Amino acid sequence: MSVSTVPEPKPTSPSITPMLEMKGITKRFPGVIANDRVDLSVRPGTVHTLLGENGAGKSTLMKILYGLYQPDEGEIFFEGKRIEIMSPADAINHGIGMIHQHFMLVPTLTVAENVALGLHPALSRADMGPVRRRLTEVSDQYGLKLDPDAYIWQLAVGERQRAEILKALYRDAQLLVLDEPTAVLTPPEVDDLFATLRQLTADGRGLIFISHKLHEVMELADEVTVLRDGEVSGHTTPAESSREHLAELMVGRSVSLTRDVGVSEVGPAKLQVDNLYVRGDRGTDAVKGLSLEVRAGEVVGIAGVSGNGQRELAEAIFGLRPVVSGSIAINGEEVVDHTPKSVRTNGLAYIPEERMKDGAIGDFTVAENLMLVGYKEPPFARRGFLNLEKIKERCTDLVHRYAVKTPTVETPTRNLSGGNIQKVVIAREFSSEAEAMVVAQPTRGVDIGAAEYIHEQLLRQRAAGAAILLISEDLDEIMQLSDRIIVLLEGEAMGEVMRGDATVGEIGLLMSGVR
């Protein structure tokens, strides 16, 4: 389907006045137009998905709606009246609530106390009775089961999200903005959330649903507005569209959403972990008795919600975090408590989950980041002197082979987009010809086009015989690329599933603690 011929949606209730209309919204920052004459209309009782790549302007538009930014041009109408939203308090007073991706809750307070924050007049702990009763009524009405007296720190991630929704409903928000609400939820929790959202729309409330997961958009949305480079690139409905069409609207070209993984010849184990215990930053065990092996020519996926020991596992394997007990072997050599340099020497490449913290140095050029590993080896160095000509040839070749979009190899890495910084890290690690690889969150924060390319490169490494441990919170990514899937919960392996046998339901149950 051509991007230039985007079908307009067919409103199911054209007589209904839109709850929200944002008309001609423009927001400029130095050197960039974040929103360029954006129109957005949300009808009551519907879910309107706002879709787009990182940097497309979604967050800026919603920050304008919630009073965190002021538009340079344009108008906002709510329930038929033109309004000005100068602060979040204005938005709340108009009946607009926002559920942030990173929850705005005080861990040491109860659910009721968090809800009471900001109420006028201010309430003391002794006055919580009416708040608790009203919260119980709202939670019963929408199936958001939650103890008003539970402390936030005691709650699971899904329960904290319910607390955020209850905060908005307590203030009788008629329009709810949900920013990537499923990013930290297991599949069963996503099902529960969607049931709640449908109940909210049945009650006449409007929802703006921000997501990059196209299957969720197709399942939940009534209408979809797609942003690209700050402009509206399309407005459609799931009934008149497809995942491939939505991806094309986001990127501006055709994108393959499926991977032909094929069968790979599997060789001997290259990475072995046996009865591993690793301590987390809070002083408790984050990895508990974990055993696994990754063989040449296969991808083993680690699935799980964020915070279940994935980061600690990756850091321990690469020598960045001490091991309490257990064994880690690369190519048969024990590497527990070895330095990252020693682990690399044994044949391991590492793509960390935080590329700008652990994978690249922003002030270094693209060439310098590409040569962080191997710059002392021939032909790039001889007798302590760098061969700058050979280094430039090598870096220019890598930039070309890995499709890194950069003006030159001398460009500071911080000037690149997130997807291109990730390509720099991947180019460096994959070109090392390592036999084993730990790849953590490879497509986090990158656009669909870059993700497509990164997946292709992972499968090429697999076909070349690399043993890849893939750690990702994106269940679609894990299920598409992995030969075997291990589900991690609170640092323990809940079970292992072969790709051909894996279903979202089964993996979701394992992620929820049901073996």
Return the structure tokens found at 331: 């190519």
Cβ atoms of 176 and 204 closer than 8 Å: no
Give the C-alpha separation, 201 to 135, whole Å.
19
- Domains (ranges, CATH) in the chain? 17-95+174-257 (3.40.50.300), 105-173 (no CATH), 259-347+435-446+464-515 (3.40.50.300), 356-433 (no CATH)
DSSP-assigned letters across all residues of 282-323: TSSEEEEEEEEEEETTEEEEEE--TTSSHHHHHHHHTTSS--
Concatenated DSSP letters of 187-207: HHHHHHHHHHHHHHHHTT-EE
Predicted local distance difference test score (pLDDT) of residue 63: 92
Residue 463, CB-side half-sphere exposure with 13 Å CA sphere: 10
What is the average pLDDT value for the chain, to the nearest integer? Answer: 87
Q: For residue 514, what are its two tokens? A: 């049901």
Give the number of other Cβ atoms within 10 Å of residue 122's Cβ: 9
First and final CA of the chain: distance in angstroms? 43
For residue 489, how far is the Cα from the chain centroid? 19
The model's pTM is 0.75
62 and 208 Cβ atoms separated by less than 8 Å: yes
C-alpha 250, offset from chain centre? 16
Q: What pLDDT score was predicted for residue 353? A: 87
Residues 186-198 as b/e (b if ≥16 CB within 10 A, e otherwise) read bbbbbebbbebbe
Would you state the pLDDT for residue 172? Answer: 87
pLDDT for the residue 179:
86
d(CA 130, CA 470) in angstroms, rounded, equals 49
Order of strands across the sheet that contains 96-99: 96-99, 175-179, 206-210, 47-52, 223-228, 231-236
Q: Which residues contact 48 (CB under 8 A, 6 or more apart)?
A: 40, 41, 42, 206, 207, 208, 209, 221, 222, 223, 224, 225
What is residue 17's predicted lDDT score, i.e. its pLDDT? 81
Nearest to 139 by CA among 158, 109, 166: 166
Residue 304 sits at φ, ψ, to 5 deg, of 160, 155
- Is residue 500 exposed (0-12), middle (13-18) or buried (19+ Cβ within 10 Å)? exposed
As given in the structure block, the two tokens for residue 448 are 């669909």
Q: Which two tokens stand for residue 207?
A: 């929802």
What is the spatial distance between Cα 357 and Cα 227, in angstroms, rounded to a whole number?
29
261 with 499: CB under 8 angstroms?
A: yes
Q: Residue 53: which of 457, 450, 480, 453 has the closest Cα?
A: 450
Return the H-helix or E-strand segment holding 148.
Answer: none
Residues in the chain: 515
- How far is it, in rounded angstroms, from Cα 47 to Cα 208? 6
- Give the model's pLDDT for residue 181: 84
Q: Burial, 396: exposed, middle or buried (Cβ in 10 Å; 0-12, 13-18, 19+)?
A: middle
Structure confidence at residue 388 (pLDDT): 79
Cβ-contact 275, 326 below 8 angstroms: yes
In whole angstroms, what is the distance from residue 76 CA to residue 2 CA?
A: 31
* Secondary structure letter of residue 501 according to DSSP: G
Give the pair of three-digit tokens for residue 203. 């009650």
Q: What are the two backbone dihedrals, phi and then psi, of residue 344, each rounded to the nearest 5 degrees?
A: -60, -45
pLDDT tens for the chain, residues 1 to 515: 334 333 344 344 445 689 999 999 999 988 889 999 999 999 999 999 999 877 788 889 999 999 999 999 999 999 999 999 999 999 999 999 998 877 789 999 999 999 888 776 656 666 778 888 889 888 888 888 888 989 998 887 778 888 988 988 988 899 999 988 887 777 888 888 899 899 999 999 999 999 878 888 999 999 999 999 899 999 999 999 998 899 899 888 887 777 667 777 899 999 999 999 999 887 889 999 999 999 999 999 999 887 889 999 999 999 999 999 999 999 999 999 899 999 999 999 999 988 888 899 999 999 999 988 876 676 677 777 777 788 888 899 999 988 888 889 999 998 887 778 889 999 999 988 899 999 998 987 677 877 888 899 999 999 999 999 999 988 888 998 999 999 999 999 999 998 878 788 888 888 888 77
Q: Which two tokens stand for residue 426?
A: 């991947």
